[in-house]
Amino acid sequence: QSALTQPASVSGSPGQSISISCTGTSRNVGSYNLVSWYQQFPGKAPKLMIYEATKRPSGVSSRFSGSKSGNTASLTISGLQAEDEAEYYCCAYAGSKTFYVFGTGTKVTVL
């Protein structure tokens, strides 16, 4: 199954809010609320930031929030900080044949 579509890059100034979209199909994002988001720094493993489309794990900053509408999920980072500069990936459950599909990734740059 094809990867979920994300913008290659998103940038913002410190303090601003940015959003990253993750577009799938009715077979994955549109069918289940099992969308998660990961932050990844170069050479490091991904870190879970959002699960079940809107929920934040313990310890993740409240500046990170998620939403979903139809076949598109979104990650919003509010009050952008220099430490948020990283690659972000979405992931969606796609049923019991395909299981999981990841997004193409978005590089967040803090100007």
Distance in Å, CB of 102 to other proteins, minimum: 5
**DSSP per-residue letters across the chain:** -PPBB--SEEEE-TT--EEEEEE--TTTTTT-S-EEEEEE-TTS--EEEEBTTTB--TTS-TTEEEEEETTEEEEEE-S--GGG-EEEEEEEE-HHHH-EEEB--EEEEE-
Contact between 9 and other proteins (CB under 8 A)? no
Contact track, other proteins, 18-57, x by CB under 8 A: --------------xxxxx-x------xxxx--xx--x-x
Positions touching other proteins (CB under 8 A) are 3, 32-36, 38, 45-48, 51-52, 55, 57, 89, 91, 93, 96-105
